[in-house]
Amino acid sequence: MSAADPVRWGVLATGGIAAKFIQDLSRVPEAQVVAVGSRSLDTAEAFAQTHGIARVHGSWSALAADPEVDIIYVATPHSHHHAAGRVCLAAGKPLLVEKAFTLDLAQAQDLVTMARERELFLMEAMWTRTLPAMLRLQQLLADGAIGRVTSVQAAFGLGPEFEPAHRLRNPALGGGALLDLGVYPVHFSHMLLGSPTHVQAWAQLHPEGTDARTGILLGYADGALATLYCGVGGEIRSATIVGTLGRVEFPHGFHNASSFLLHRNGSDPELIEADVAGLHYQAAEAGRCLRAGLTQSPLVPLESTLDVMRTLDAIRAQIGVVY
């Protein structure tokens, strides 16, 4: 792609996250949404009218075949990511796939293999890893601001309990706290510590068999630990990183952080501020990679996506959740 050409996005699905993505994408000057696709033409047309999208498709395959689309954002529930991703990759389209990437490691590996065989760009939409605050955090840690990281604590909880008919309780849709909420603290710990060597988990399950609340303990080869939580019935989105020379705290919203507190041993706390969070950073990163001819993002590499999904599979096996 020429640096002067806009990145032309197609959006697959018409839910709330798709609408939010389009809203935030307006902050990327070199990007534009040119098409939307849904399994329902009526739904796609209504969405297109609301968001001013010119090209409308009543199937995934029609969107994937659109020659005016450079890259597709897959915004379905994660139960459909694999099927939608296969349709798009088979048509030769680069992809940004909403998290959790797929339901399990086998599905994730299948999409990664397809993309690599076709030399197509593929990225999980783990937007947290593309935020300026997270890039600043990683630079500080690399510079030794808190020494060697010895533990990570991260929790993502939503306040309300959901009704039995809600998607978050439906195993057929990959419901439960783990894939919707737990993917954040697991990705966060992976970003900081890499892949764990030990996984321990316990959960309280909904009557439908999906997890309402899950506690996770991850152990690492260097002796570091991650203590993670995801669940409904209580609002929390905090994180702490402990090192040998200090700690970092995200008191509120580590997943969409625009600032954090740096505590160096023996010094007053420092407030580290960055640009406001949003979904546009992941879109800008995907566009940058397309222009550079990359098939994956160094900020959200495919091996990280596979490692996280491997950890999520191990957690599910221990808590007894089956999709």
Q: Summarize pLDDT for 19-73 with one digit per residue, the tens.
A: 999 999 999 999 999 999 999 999 999 999 999 999 999 999 999 999 999 999 9
Average pLDDT over residues 253-258: 96
If pLDDT is split at 50, 70 and 90, which confidence band does 160 have?
confident
- pLDDT tens profile 256-289: 999 999 999 999 999 999 999 999 999 999 999 9
| Whole-angstrom distance, CA of residue 278 vs CA of residue 26 | 11
What contacts 43, CB < 8 A, 6 or more positions away? 14
pLDDT at 3 > cutoff 80: no
Active site residue 99: yes
Please say whether the beta carbons of 257 and 133 come within 8 A.
yes
- pLDDT tens profile 197-250: 999 999 999 999 999 999 999 999 999 999 999 999 999 999 999 999 999 999
If pLDDT is split at 50, 70 and 90, which confidence band does 115 have?
very high
If pLDDT is split at 50, 70 and 90, which confidence band does 113 have?
very high
Q: Tell me how many degrees the CA angle 111-15-310 measures, rounded to the nearest 5.
A: 30
Please say whether the beta carbons of 189 and 218 come within 8 A.
yes
pLDDT at 1 > cutoff 80: no
Please say whether the beta carbons of 262 and 270 come within 8 A.
yes
The amino acid that residue 108 corresponds to is: A
Q: Which domains does the chain have, with CATH numbers?
A: 7-126 (3.40.50.720), 129-279+309-319 (3.30.360.10)
pLDDT at 296 > cutoff 90: yes
| 98 CB-side CA count, 13 A | 25
What contacts 206, CB < 8 A, 6 or more positions away? 164, 169, 175, 176, 212
| 180 CB-side CA count, 13 A | 23
Sheet holding 122-125, edge to edge: 55-57, 31-37, 7-12, 71-74, 95-98, 122-125
pLDDT at 88 > cutoff 70: yes
pLDDT of residue 5: 82
Radius of gyration of the chain (CA): 20
3-state secondary structure at position 241: strand
| Mean confidence (pLDDT) of the chain | 96
Percent of the chain whose predicted confidence (pLDDT) is above 90: 95
Q: How far is CA 279 from CA 22, 137, 285, 297, in A?
A: 9, 18, 10, 15
| Whole-angstrom distance, CA of residue 271 vs CA of residue 273 | 6
Record the tokens describing residue 319, joined without a space: 């808590």
95-98/122-125 β-pairing: parallel
3-state secondary structure at position 191: helix
pLDDT of residue 87: 98
| Whole-angstrom distance, CA of residue 279 vs CA of residue 264 | 31
pLDDT of residue 161: 87
Please say whether the beta carbons of 288 and 137 come within 8 A.
no
Give backbone dihedrals phi and psi of 56, rounded to 5 degrees, phi first. Answer: -130, 135
Task: Point out the catalytic residue in the list 78, 80, 99, 206.
Answer: 99
pLDDT of residue 2: 65
Peptide bond into 18 cis (omega under 30): no
